Amino acid sequence: MTRGVYSVLLLLLSPLIVAYLAFRAFKSPDYRGRWGERFGLMRLKQTDVLIHSVSMGETLAAVPLIKRLMKQHPQLSITVTTTSPTGSAEVIKAFGDSVQHCYLPFDINLCVSRFIKQVNPQLCVIMETELWPNLLHYAKKNNTRLVLANARLSQKSADKYHKQMGLSLPMLTALDAIAVQTEAESARFAALGANTASLHVCGSLKFDIQIDDSKYQQAHTLRADWQRSQAPVWVAGSVHPGEFDMMLQAHKKVLEQYPDALLIMAPRHPEQFNVAAVTTAQQGLNLARRSMNEAVDGHTQVLLGDTMGELLMLYGAADIAFIGGTLIESGGHNPLEPAAMGLPVSVGPHHWNFAEITHLLEQAGGLTVVNNADELADMLLQLFASAELHDKAAKASLAVVSQNRGALQKQFEIVEQQLRLTDLIT
């Protein structure tokens, strides 16, 4: 498929895009406004640098890079775009009105061309692998230099790109620099036709996670308030429908041996909070909802983490973490946050989005791959029963994070190099 065919198909499908937005808006209030931004209809100011950070995870990784850029070059004007309300919330929380912020328009040619013409960036930094044919085409047509930062490319994604070389090759060759996370991913980009001179192995920005001491203190205080200072506590983070029942089944097995154990279950998407609450009630477990400030006492068996921006702190209040999206075929989420909090981590077999990071943690002994609820329960019980095994895994997690820091400096240098080529800095 070529970009022209892709653009026509996307235009024909635009009524379905509107229907999709309406469906999301029905399920989640966060999608009920700002539709104009998604179609490039917002009035925007010209800025020097455009940074696209997709959703919450990519935005959290981008924040230190953006802050370094703002500190080193305060004269630069910056626009930050996301595609999700959670990512948007993180941008507003981190930068307020010190950057221009909006949703990135859908990749419909008329919408994207208007957006690029208005913002007119000299440099565009795209986080991870959020590549859109029309966005890159019109940015290149605008003589915008293009950087793919913190780039990751699983073998599954590489296979998909390979099947659509008419779309993928022009995008990859348009990139002026690719700051890739691992050697394996660099090889995948090269095999797809990316210019090898543009490839730089830098590690993952997510290893450079900085945890504020207040989060540890808040987590410690919460656990004491929950009357669980000595009782087992585990977190199922970023879990999806299809995994809720499995988490609860595993927790029931834990409760058989540890009646005072607490599960903190944090669904990935806000629109699934109520589904998770209903599922927990149907399983006959005592539930408290974080969003409603419901008290967690000695009788509470499950705390529903149905708030935004608290998951890192909730990891700090636990002993062990499971990362969702991995017992279903979703590709999984970032295991580094609980690892950086010093927790043993567990994932299911479908973790291709973070395959290399998962492998590093597993190889070091900080992570365990489980295939179902029974294996998850067995792993939890084993670590709860042995402080020695738990502490060994926790130290391994922390060591992996510590040993792989440094990506921020490397990727910042690549961004600066491209800025010099635009004459925005000397």
Cα distances from 142 to residues 119, 120, 312, 373, in angstroms, run: 10, 7, 39, 51
Provide the sign of the torsion angle of the four alpha carbons 398, 403, 404, 405, taken in this order. positive
Query: Mapping DSSP to helix (H, G, I), strand (E, B) and coil, where does residue 282 land?
Result: helix
Q: Is 294 a catalytic residue?
A: no
**Tell me, what amino acid is at 200?**
H
Query: Mapping DSSP to helix (H, G, I), strand (E, B) and coil, where does residue 382 land?
Result: helix
Of these residues, 37, 58, 337, 362, which one is catalytic? 58
* Angle (nearest 5°) at CA 137 between 133 and 142: 150
CA neighbor of 336 nearest in space, from 328, 148, 351, 350: 351
* Angle (nearest 5°) at CA 345 between 341 and 347: 140
Containing H/E element for 177? strand 177-180
List the alpha helices (DSSP H) in 271-331.
273-282, 311-316
Residue 53 and residue 62 in contact, taking contact as beta carbons nearer than 8 Å:
yes
**Catalytic residue positions, numbered:** 58
